[in-house]
Structure 1
Amino acid sequence: MTEADFNFLRLLLHLRSGLSLSPEKRYLAESRLGILCRRRGIDGLATLVHQLRQGSDATLENAVVEAMTTNETLFFRDHTPFDLFRNAILPEKLASNASSRSLRIWCAAVSTGQEAYSLAMILDEMAPRLAGWKVQIIGTDISAEVLERARTGLYSQFEIQRGLPIQMLLKHFHQNGDKWQVSERLRAMVELKQHNLLEPNSHLGQFDVIFCRNVLIYFDVPTKAKVLGLIAPRLAPEGAVVLGAAETVIGISTTIVPDGKHRGLFRDRRSAHAASMTLPLEPRLAQGGARY
């Protein structure tokens, strides 16, 4: 791949998906897009870039974005955010939403669905307290391919072994050939939609809880700010945002700020729970998160 072709791909990926592909990741582009070329019968990367430069094949552009999107995920990934959801966010929402008896959760960049189904399992644990409530989990992703996988709820033995407690496996899954499938009841709790985080999102409505974990680390700072700016209006009053462990809003967003009580939790600035950003927190930005 020539330098000019690689720079074209970097620009295309940034414009279409927000991905910030650093120069040292050239090998990754060559590897993943080489597989795409073989799969689609394209004679090499130079031909692929030539076709992309024509700008007339949206399906090919989508395929390139999907090939370069990282879809690494697992059930109850990192544990802490799910403990936070179970022990802090849910009790708060049960109290604050008692009159409306409704709860809406958005899993942004949901990938193959493990995060959304993990939240559904926690909600199932609290079914008696949520009786009569309208509960919605909306999962979105830029990739149609991973969303289709998420809809089936089918996972390999390897995927099942990554983070899923045995008691939850026995309760919520059944074997389907050589794979395990999420129960129909749990799948009915999760609605999956294709959505690019860089695009307008008012059609999604407002949410009490937004999980947007381990996606901002792949964006440059202006793109992170844009994504957070689009997420903020989707947050209901007193709503909560959960980001990845290596992600922060400090120095990036003025509308979403750290929660005053719980590490890893963020709020709309207007929320009574939001903490003012103080000087001791600012140096964390210098460390930042890994960039793609």
Structure 2
Amino acid sequence: MPRPGLTPELRQRYFHQERDRWRLSEQVRKPVEFRPLNLMDDVPREAPVDLVFLRNVMIYWDAPTRRAVLARVRRMLHADGYLVLGAAEASPLVEDGFTRHLIGQTSWYRPTPAATP
């Protein structure tokens, strides 16, 4: 569903409604490969990737597991890629190897140059 506050022009341009749901337009979806990954596994051969959504999962892991997963994410991201976390995941662990950027009220993280493979 398009987020609240999205202008009607952007919603009309990039989404279409299907019954009670909103779907991202084909012009946006077609050039993008959406793929689930198990971040507990080694870095996939298909890396590097542009964007990782890691929302509402790290809150269930202990600190060593979070560090290991964040290190894998850092290795799999393009140097100009982004990591998106849920609000509960933001912690000092994330700041190690990532630089926080605010876009609106959302925090996005990019690999720091020293952390780029």
TM category, shorter: 0.5 to 0.7
Q: Which runs of 5+ in 2 are unaligned?
A: none
Aligned AA (2:87)? A
The structure carrying a bigger strand percent of its residues is 2
Aligned AA (1:257)? G
Q: Give the aligned partner of residue 11 of structure 2.
A: 169
Q: For residue 169 of structure 1, report the CA deviation from its aligned partner.
A: 2.2
C-alpha distance in 1 between matches for 2:79 and 2:9: 35
- Structure 1, residues 21-66: CA drift from partner, whole Å, max 9, x if none? xxxxxxxxxxxxxxxxxxxxxxxxxxxxxxxxxxxxxxxxxxxxxx
Does residue 1:267 correspond to 2:111, yes or no?
A: yes
Aligned AA (1:163)? P
The structure carrying a bigger helix percent of its residues is 1
Q: For residue 270 of structure 1, report the CA deviation from its aligned partner.
A: 0.6
Q: For residue 216 of structure 1, report the CA deviation from its aligned partner.
A: 1.6
Q: For residue 247 of structure 1, report the CA deviation from its aligned partner.
A: 2.4
Aligned AA (2:77)? L
| Conserved 8 A contact 1:249-1:258 | no
- Structure 1, residues 182-212: CA drift from partner, whole Å, max 9, x if none? 3222221332223211112332311355443
Q: Which runs of 5+ in 1 are unaligned?
A: 1-158, 273-292
User: 1:169–1:207: structure 2 CA closer, same or farther, 3 Å change rule?
Assistant: same
Does residue 1:221 correspond to 2:56, yes or no?
A: no
| RMSD of aligned Cα (Å) | 3.4
The TM-score with structure 1 as length reference comes to: 0.31
| Conserved 8 A contact 1:211-1:243 | yes
Does residue 1:184 correspond to 2:8, yes or no?
A: no
C-alpha distance in 2 between matches for 1:267 and 1:198: 19
Aligned AA (1:196)? N
Higher relative contact order, chain-length normalized (CA < 8 Å, sep 6+): 2
User: 1:238–1:185: structure 2 CA closer, same or farther, 3 Å change rule?
Assistant: closer
| Conserved 8 A contact 2:74-2:115 | no
C-alpha distance in 1 between matches for 2:82 and 2:20: 38
C-alpha distance in 2 between matches for 1:270 and 1:220: 25
Bigger radius of gyration, 1 or 2?
1
Counting aligned pairs with the same residue, the percent is 31
Q: Give the aligned partner of residue 133 of structure 1.
A: none
Q: Give the aligned partner of residue 257 of structure 1.
A: 97
| Conserved 8 A contact 1:206-1:234 | yes
The TM-score with structure 2 as length reference comes to: 0.63
